[in-house]
Amino acid sequence: MSNLLVKTFLGFAFLMLVLALALFIPAGSLSFWQAWVYLAVWAVCVTLITLYLVKNDRELLAGRVQAGPVAETQKNQKIIQSLASLCFIALFIVPGLDYRFGWSNVPSIVSLIADGFVALGFFFVFLVFRENSYTRATIEVSKGQTVTTSGPYRFVRHPMYAGASILLIATPLALGSWIAEIFAVLLILVVAVRLLDEENLLKKDLTGYAEYCQTVRYHLIPYVW
């Protein structure tokens, strides 16, 4: 179990380092205050969620540690995850460049409000983790897995992706960039492709999921899609 905690800590530290480098190197300055605030919000939210999982659901934590294109078992998901990774890193590099060259003019209050929506997105993700212990980072059906229909799953089939979408849309504004919203939208489109592929697998391999889809009509946004 200690190996899991070490792996979790190292993964978190590596991610924070990558995000910081992706922001500050393109920005060419450590005075990029929006980046500091954003990283602080990100670090606090991820730490709180991780502490919850360490205490209450280490099996889910282990499933979340294994992530990224390499961890996927299906070729199409490897491709989707690779595209998602490219869009994700652009979501941080572009605001850094934006800060350096002054392409956007996002009011400070808008950036701070956007940080609040980043935290809100993380909160929705936490609600999903609390409700569904089978929320792995890779697409697969685990032994003994059942369909979750309670909590946020009453409204959309993929509430974790819904929460992540809020986070993604808010990220460019939190970092003071209008231009980077392009990559947030692209990343959400990639997520949409991923969830449709995931639904096909779950309908085939998870008992009761097809019936659940007939009850809950919306994939990502209630009353929209």
DSSP symbol at 72: -
- Distance CA(41)–CA(120), nearest Å, equals 11
Mean pLDDT, 10 residues at a time, the chain of 225 residues: 82 94 98 98 96 89 68 71 91 98 96 98 95 78 84 94 96 98 96 90 91 94 92
What is the distance between the alpha carbons of residues 3 and 115, in angstroms, rounded to a whole number?
33
* DSSP code at position 117: H
**Confidence (pLDDT) at 145:** 83
Question: What is the predicted pLDDT for the residue at 128?
Answer: 94
Q: What is the pLDDT of residue 78?
A: 79
Q: Tell me which DSSP letter residue 133 carries.
A: T
Tokens of 30: 């450590």
- Amino acid 69: pLDDT: 57
How far is Cα 62 from Cα 56, in angstroms, rounded to an integer? 12
Output the CA angle 38-42-48, nearest 5 degrees: 145
Q: How is domain 2-136+143-215 classified at the CATH fold level?
A: Four Helix Bundle (Hemerythrin (Met), subunit A) (1.20.120)
Q: How far apart are CA 59 and CA 78, in angstroms?
A: 23
Judge if pTM exceeds 0.85.
Answer: yes
Domain definitions of the chain by residue range: 2-136+143-215
Give CA–CA dist 129/153, Å, rounded. Answer: 11
